[in-house]
Structure 1
Amino acid sequence: MRNQTFLFGVLLLVNGMFGVDADEVSVSVMVGDSVTLHTDFTETPRESKIIWKFNNQIIAKMNGANGGNPSTYDGPGAVFKDRLKLDKQTGSLTITNIRSEHVGHYSVDIKSTDAKLKTFQVTVHGGVKTISAMKGDPVNLHTGVIEIRGYDLILWTTEGNVVAEVNKQTNLFGPRDEGDVRFGGRLHLHRETGDLTISDSKTTDSGDYHLHMSNSAHTLERTIRVIVKTQPQSGAASVICNAGVGLVVWAVFLVARFVDNEWCGKGVSVNIK
């Protein structure tokens, strides 16, 4: 018992001396998203060395002593080919166009004045990236989270314009379409999830909508394509149908007139004795 207590004390001492932090961050994304895993640096110390691993295999590294010079690797089975980006200033890792094979355990080992280990568990879910709706129906764009309290900033943008925002720093929440002629007050932001709803949709609402969600641990980027279609022109079909019926009636009328004229033209002779 005394030995176990001594060992526990040594571990606490080592953790305090080297600043090792192994708290795991859970990150849930959808297929096709881009996600950035943060190191917490705004600028990496010159003497630092950063190593990123996926399931204990090195996928990226950077040495601050040689001015950054970040390197990325394809990973096991080349699953990360052309998908990894390492920020030279912060050492944060971005995975673009994420797929189900990227599910797993990520860690960043930061060797600097204070040693630091940060870990992430990334899960990937399937999702619809294109939404089709009929004109007049509501269009729902989902963030995919149960609650938004874990995020510091959420932005919905389209055509380069921010149309809805949740910003903890400025205490801002809600749509930003009051002066937007395109939407005219038809945008609604869900308070719990950050989902964006477009009511009474119009064909002009069609386009790409971009979602940005970030906190101190990670940043998520998602694009959803919206297609709003017009209702079938049932009125035109009725006109055609009515026109067809009218033609049939007119043809019957002409035939009747023709028969009547033929009958009357022949005449009837009566002999009276």
Structure 2
Amino acid sequence: MFLKLVLLCLCLWRLDGVFGFLEVKYVKEGDSVTLNTGLTKIKDDDVIQWRFWIKKTLIAEINKRADRITVYDDVLDGRFRDRLKLDHQTGSLTIMNTTTEHAGRYKLQINSVIKSFNLVVYGEISVLEKDSVTLNSDLTEMKDDCQILWWFVNENTSIAEANVTADSITVYDDVDGRFRDRLKLDKQSGSLTITNTTTEHAGVYVLVQMTGENPSLKTFRVSVYARLPVPVISSNSSQCSSSSSSSSSCLLLCSAVNVSHVTLSWYKGNSLLSSISVSDLSISLSLPLEVEYQDKNTYSCVLNNTISNQTQHLDITQLCHTCADSVHCCGSTEAVIRLVLSALVGVATVIILVYDIRSRRAERDQAHTHTSVSDF
């Protein structure tokens, strides 16, 4: 029986779409899901039955012959209580506020025609790279007849198991090396902890639990996010126009490099001004912003993913220089260059004047000497 449960778990995640009469449905824990009959209207002589895979339990029925519509939501310890909705026109079944207890196979029988659904209810967990994550079994204590098995669906292999009856707990942490020295199985609850996570640990994990005759499945989808860098704000305000003594705005650029699955945004106070998102791997993002030089508002650039964010606040006085005078307008570097050029022009002018004076004096002296020789 325990082996059959494991095989069922694999089927739940390995089958996609519709194959024959088997359809796979995926739903996030807490959301609703509808299992459709495919009918547009029930006929007067139709009998429709919905059964859940544990003990082939009848959970809903429409019998048009007897003019009876029934929902059995108190079965199986009340796991379906106030969660089932049966469409009176089509016979489709909706399961609301799903939990992992609702995962498994559902059988629909319309008269003599049978169709099956595999429902995967998954919990979504996000963790930062290098942090630890615990996949909770929701057990406070494993009973004497309890057996559990943790399965990593990405590699189609078991990574941990416990058998209370046999007093056995085993961790298979050498699965292609990615889990080595990273798995911890709680002896009391059966919960699994993955330490020092990397992106290689992202994927689907299934807990198969068997206590007496009550089997259950619990599925997790784990996302591992890289730690975010602090975004960088730059400006090109050092450029100035020679035709104007002032400029009205400053162009800024917020950038982040080697990022994936993130959103880069500009905020004015708490109000979002603009944003750009990316799902590709390891690319560079940039987002421009134009502000007035005399703007007194607070601006910030934020880089965020699902579970974390990094913020860089804008200091307008440092990045945006006003054009009150040529020095400020053109920037300190250009101002220095202009001062040096002015000094060089001044020195050159003095040199030319001195040279001209000396040349004229030499010409006069030469003319005087020539006259003296002629008289002699």
Name which one, 1 or 2, has greater alpha-carbon Rg.
2
Which structure carries more relative contact order (alpha carbon 8 Å, separation 6+)?
1
